[in-house]
Structure 1
Amino acid sequence: MKHLLFYLSLFCSLGIQAQTLLPLPVQQQAGNGTFALDRRYKLVSNLKGEDSKYIKEQVAMLMGSPQSTAQAQPRGVIMLRLNPGGSAAEGYKLNVTTDTIRIEASTAAGIFYGIQTLRQLEQQQRIPCTEIADSPRFVHRGFMLDTSRHFWSKEFIKKQIDALAYFKLNSLHLHLTDSEGWRIQIKKYPQLTDETAYRPLINHSQWIDGGRKYCKKGTPGAYGGYYTQKDLKEIVAYARSRYINVIPEIEIPGHSHEVMQVFKNLSCTGQGDGFDLCVGNERTFKFLTDVLKEVISVFPSKVIHIGGDEATMLYWKKCPKCIGLYNRMNMTDTTQIQGYIISRIDSFLTANGRRMIGWDEILDGTTLSPQALVMSWRGEQGGIKASQMKHHVVMSPSKFYYLDHYQDKPETQPKAFGGYSPLEKVYTYDPVPAELKGTDAEKYIDGIQGNLWTECVETSSHAEYMMYPRLLAIAETAWGTKSSYADFRKRVLSMESYLRSKGYNCFDLNRETDTYKTETAK
């Protein structure tokens, strides 16, 4: 309530500029006058190395005018000060007067976010005088893009990275492998992309009904593609310059139909049947560790996603190798077969200086290493259980944060996977479960993530339509300072205009026909 009253009073004093801030800052005080951007300026900064380069590019984009030379007297000063320990990680302090802009932060990311706030405040080359102290609620503020069900160009991904950064999101999770196509070049196993990166049908349902067939690149009508390691390193570097971490996902042990079509001996039948890798086959682990070594060489992320969801376990129950493993390890439940492979991959990643993260099924049938993270998608229970076990958690319950769900009445919308998650539902959801509030386990909720699965999403315009503006609700929730939904909606309408001016396709909130009824995540 205090934040809401403070913001309402602030809105009255700042006028139209306040409508443009998203996410809202923690504290803000309005000043008098404006700082004009259409003039020569002097940049004073103690940032060094790559951070200095990245930030200078952002300042130049904001100012739209050159720095002063020795011969030209500056008419404005921009001061960027890195002060380790001076504020919360990724937080910043911003002060704008008529002749000076000052940003102070403990990290370069904080400086970057201060500049994004300036970009949002700017109108007609002027920034209102103001003082802001700001920092995020969560350390993980993410978006996942499914590149397997449908393939997305490198340029499309970079475009979305720009939007993520503008709204202070800091994690891009790429779902790179699934039954519909293997999308990452693995130099040791070129067959993966040679044989399963393309398929004869773009439509997902038709592809399934047609027997899940793949084809070679160049086949008439072939659809698909993959990212070379060079492509992915370029994406990682682009994201890094916007303080976004790229998390790769290699899906195991389920969702692996494509792998077993290439290496049939990794299936329980030896014929490529089913969707789950044969856990009783030691060759499976050789394959996976080989793949993960190359993934680690491409992605500097300290966190590697291994999937772990929706294993059918059907063939494990009658596979001689899996039954042998079951008996040798004195297992009492089939889920322990999944637990065995998850535990071994967890140990491998730990030994290689990385942390494993997976969907909440990774909690089943094993004891995870202390550093393993859990992404809770089947409601809140996985997140509650994991945090109470002192595992760090990213909340991503499908009922609220799956962006492949309908956002209005289905008959008015393009095809979606199902569900109903309009903007208000996404915005008003509190990702910290009531059971955890005020307990020690609450501190293990690292953040939240919106996920765009793409079974029903074939085009870039459709993908953006599903992302925006719901991703803005996730961004403000992740940053932490929230207003009423009515106020948020007004700011979203302003941001939709901005996004369209930059070439993004948004769901038109002005045409929303349905109203949301409260429901829980459970």
Structure 2
Amino acid sequence: MRNSILLLFAALFAASVRAQSIDIIPRPQALTEGKGTFRFSAKTAIVADPELRRPAELFAADIQPVVGYRISIAEKGTVSLSVDNTLEAEEYSLAVTPKNIRILGGSPRAVFYALQTLRQLVAPDGTVPAVIVRDKPCFAHRGGMLDSGRHYFSVEEVKRFIDMLAMHKLNVFHWHLSEDQGWRIEIRRYPRLTEVGSIRKQTVIGRYDKSDESRNRYDGTPYGGFYTQADIREIVAYAAERYIEVIPEIDMPGHMLGALASYPQLGCRGEGYEVWTHWGISKDVLCAGKEATFEFVENVLAEVLELFPSKLIHVGGDECPKERWKECPACQKRIREEGLKNENELQSYFMHRVEKWLHQHGRELIGWDEIMQGGISQSAVIMAWTDQVRGTDAARNGNRVIMTPKWNCYLDYAQTSEPEKLEPIGPTRYLSMRQVYRLDPYDRLKPKEYENILGIQGNVWTEYIADFEHLQKMALPRMAAIAEVAWAYDRKDYDDFEIRAKRLLPTLYKNAGFKFARFFFLNIE
């Protein structure tokens, strides 16, 4: 049945040519332009299988600001949505004729992606160009990370970030929830984590000068915020409706001052901890020599697992200085008793224990590439951020890898080559749209090693991003380049992408109510 329908549409478009005027991001696998247009009106209705009703409702809500009316969901209509089990889980076909629109997807998720494509094609007058699109993604993991540790974003703002991911067909929300500057997740067994650990007494103004503290200025205003467990359940459910998996990150054993200020017995020194008021890497980390530390970690993760159904649980593992461990009798005792060579192997011991516990509870460990220090099991998933070489090494070792090298994927980096003149204060490293697009997740790998690359991810760290409007302008439009590499790696063409992006994205973002940076559209680099 499906083949006959596609043959019928192919016949209708026999005289068509490759579309040059239809802009879609990410670039679809196949696109054929037809003749004429379909027109939405207030009388248009969508016919959807029961399991597709929610995607249809979300689409109707998305295009209402564009066309000025709400499309209804009914038993009869000219727009039809169906699941076709002969297609792959994320594969879809979208066929538009002047008379109707037909969407087939291998799953409800695939139908949702087709509707995101259709959303890009709907003009303000309700017209949609006649077209056939057949599409599926290249990578399984297509992610975006939000750091809520340095700066807190409200529940509604987090949902809007999820909306940004969804419209780009990204399917993973990596949520960074604990930091030296604030603990952001309610853990009922440890109430001081939010009573104490979520609040810093003030925040540094501008860049922090670690060489001379006297030069730094602070705003003198307490800063805090955290997500209740009810908030988190609401956000996870919101993401699930948009076919986005939420992977939580509880960073350990470093970046833990929020926890140490709340429960100082968990540190090597056992006292003198405060939630940091500036940025950087603290020498104070969880004590790996105390059993109480592992009891704390397991109890925290037990509540995390109740809130997040994701198979992967991110435990950070990055930027963990070893000075305190070298000075700590308990850590040195642990090294001797476990037959470890050094503090790097102590970190490996820490990660192996946490991974074993996660496996016992049906989950898997994912961490930043520093978890490879001292050795890591092949079952751990590596998120390569320091450079792509570490990801390549991990893939060759047999680990599954998500490529997110800072030189391509850190969306808080400057968008122009002269940021101090043109942009708000922030990192001075320059990450152009072209450089994001240049990422090749398979670089220097052999074809047999490709299967170890799960995908890619764009990250938004928020040391210098204190409000949601600024966050949007850092993520957009560069998130579109992340999306195209993740979805359409096998058909990348930057010159073509730039043309489509400049024609499509300003209107798309404006219709969705998103703020975005204009440097790329004004050819300012």
Letter in 2 for 1:445: I
1:31 aligns with 2:50: no
- Aligned partner of 2:183: which letter? W
Distance in 1 of aligned mates of 2:496 and 2:469: 27
Quick check: 1:202–1:458 contact (8 Å CA) kept in 2? no
Residue number in structure 2 paired with 1:275: 284
Q: Sort the Cα spacing of 1:259 and 1:204 in 2 relative to 1 into closer, same or farther, 3 A.
A: farther
Q: Equivalents in 2 of 1:483, 1:382: separation in Å?
A: 24
Q: Which amino acid aligns with 2:487?
A: W
Provide the rounded CA distance (Å) in 2 between the counterparts of 1:142 and 1:264.
34
Q: Which residue of 2 aligns with 1:383?
A: 391
Question: How much has 1:377 moved relative to structure 2?
Answer: 0.5
> 1:461–1:69: structure 2 CA closer, same or farther, 3 Å change rule?
closer
1:90 aligns with 2:98: no
Indicate conservation of the 8 Å contact 2:57/2:73, yes or no.
no
1:472 and 1:69, CA in 2 relative to 1: closer, same or farther beyond 3 A? closer
Q: Counterpart of 2:292 in structure 1: which amino acid?
A: R
Cα distance in 2 between the residues matched to 1:366 and 1:65: 56
Q: One-letter code of the match for 2:236?
A: V
- Counterpart position of 1:517: none
C-alpha separation in 2, matches of 1:369 and 1:347: 13
| Residues 252 and 315, structure 2, Cα contact 8 Å, conserved in 1 | yes
Say what the alpha-carbon RMSD is for the aligned residues.
Answer: 2.4
Residues 144-183 of structure 1: pairs in structure 2 closer than 5 A? 144-183=145-184
Deviation at 1:55, TM superposition (A): 3.4
Shift of 1:460: 1.5
Q: 2:524 aligns with which of 500, 509, 513?
A: 513
- Separation in structure 2 between the aligned mates of residue 149 and residue 161 of structure 1, nearest angstrom: 19
Q: Give 1:59 shift.
A: 4.5
What residue number does 2:328 align with? 319
CA distance in 1, matches of 2:471, 2:523: 18
Distance 1:137 1:11, change over 3 A: farther
Residue 101 (1) aligns with residue 101 (2): yes
Task: Indicate the residue corresponding to 1:467 in structure 2.
Answer: 475
Shift of 1:489: 2.1
Question: Is residue 2:478 matched to residue 1:477?
Answer: no
Shift in Å, 1:28: 1.0
Q: 1:206, CA displacement in angstroms? A: 7.8
2-structure distance, mates of 1:513, 1:221: 36
Matched, 1:293 2:296: no
Asked if residue 245 in structure 1 is aligned to residue 245 in structure 2, the reply is: yes
Letter in 2 for 1:448: I
Indicate the SS of the match to 1:436: coil
Amino acid at match of 1:163: M
Report SS of the residue matched to 1:131: strand
The aligned counterpart of 1:197 is 198
| Higher mean displacement: 392-401 or 221-230 | 221-230
1:107-506 equivalences in 2 (<5 Å): 107-123=107-123, 124-203=125-204, 221-272=221-272, 274-368=283-377, 370=379, 372-408=380-416, 409-410=418-419, 411-433=421-443, 435-438=444-447, 440-480=448-488, 482-493=491-502, 494-506=504-516
* Offset from partner CA, 1:37-82 (integer Å, 9 cap, x none): 115345443343xx53343442465474454878xxx6x5222221
CA distance in 2, matches of 1:199, 1:415: 21
Distance 1:489 1:196 in 2: 44
Q: Which whole-Å CA distance do the structure 2 matches of 1:506 and 1:205 have between them?
A: 22
Q: What is the CA deviation profile of residues 386-409 of structure 1, one whole-angstrom value per residue up to 9, with x for unaligned ones? A: 211222111000111111211102
Instruction: Give the residue type in structure 2 aligned to 1:487.
Output: D
Separation of aligned partners in 2, 1:406 and 1:68: 44
Q: CA deviation at 1:100?
A: 2.0
Could you report, residue by residue, the CA deviation over 1:175-214 in whole angstroms, capped at 9, with x for unpaired residues? 1001000000111111011012122324466889789xxx
Q: Secondary structure at the match of 2:235?
A: helix
Indicate how the Cα distance of structure 1 residues 29 and 513 shifts in structure 2: closer, same or farther if over 3 A, else same: closer
TM-score, normalised by the number of residues in structure 2: 0.87
The residue type paired with residue 34 of structure 2 is G
CA deviation vs aligned residue, 1:325-362 (integer Å, no higher than 9, x gap): 10011111210110011001111111111111100111
Moved over 6 A (4+): 206-211
C-alpha distance in structure 2 between counterparts of 1:231 and 1:194, whole Å = 17
**For 1:232, what is the secondary structure of its paired residue?**
helix
Cα distance in 2, alignment partners of residues 413 and 56 from structure 1: 38
| Structure-2 separation of matches of 1:339 and 1:26 | 42
**What amino acid maps onto 1:157 in structure 2?**
V
Deviation at residue 96 of structure 1 after TM alignment: 1.3
Q: 195-204 or 384-393: which moved more?
A: 195-204
CA-CA distance at 1:484 after TM superposition: 3.4
Distance in 2 between residues matched to 1:374 and 1:234, nearest whole Å: 28
Task: Provide closer, same or farther for how the CA distance between residues 266 and 208 of structure 1 changes in structure 2, counting only shifts above 3 A.
Answer: farther
Mean Cα displacement is larger for which, 56-65 or 461-470? 56-65
Alpha-carbon displacement from aligned partner over 1:195-254 (angstroms, at most 9, x marks no partner)? 12122324466889789xxxxxxxx93222001111111111111111111111000001
Q: What secondary structure does 2:303 align onto?
A: helix
Q: Secondary structure at the match of 2:187?
A: coil
Distance in 2 of aligned mates of 1:67 and 1:331: 65
Q: Secondary structure at the match of 2:260?
A: helix
**Kept in 2: contact 1:373–1:391 (CA 8 A):** yes
What amino acid sits opposite 1:174 in the alignment? W
Shift of residue 376, structure 1, vs aligned partner:
0.3
CA pair 11-251 structure 1, distance change in 2 beyond 3 A: farther
Q: Deviations over 1:90-126 (max 9, x none)?
A: 1111111222211112211100000111110111201
* CA shift digits 1:305-337 (9 cap, x unpaired): 000001001111121111111001111121011
Return closer, same or farther for 1:68/1:152 CA change in 2, 3 Å cut-off.
closer
Q: 1:451-507 CA distances to partner (integer Å, 9 max, x unpaired)? A: 111111122221111111111100111111545333322322231233134332211
| AA at the equivalent of 2:160 | K
Between the aligned partners of 1:178 and 1:459, the Cα distance in structure 2 is 18
Contact 1:266/1:272 (CA < 8 Å) preserved in 2? no
Structure 2 spans left out of the alignment, 5+ residues? 1-14, 215-219, 274-282
8 Å CA contact 1:47, 1:108 repeated in 2: no
Number of equivalenced pairs: 486
Query: How many angstroms apart in 2 are the aligned matches of 1:416 and 1:326?
Result: 40
The alpha carbon displacement at 1:32 in A equals: 1.5
Secondary structure at the counterpart of residue 270 of structure 1: coil
Change (3 A) 1:513 1:35: closer
- AA aligned to 2:506 is E
- Partner of 2:153, secondary structure, is coil
Structure 1 residues 272 and 279, CA gap change in structure 2 (3 angstroms): farther
Please report the TM-score for the alignment, with normalisation by the length of structure 1: 0.88
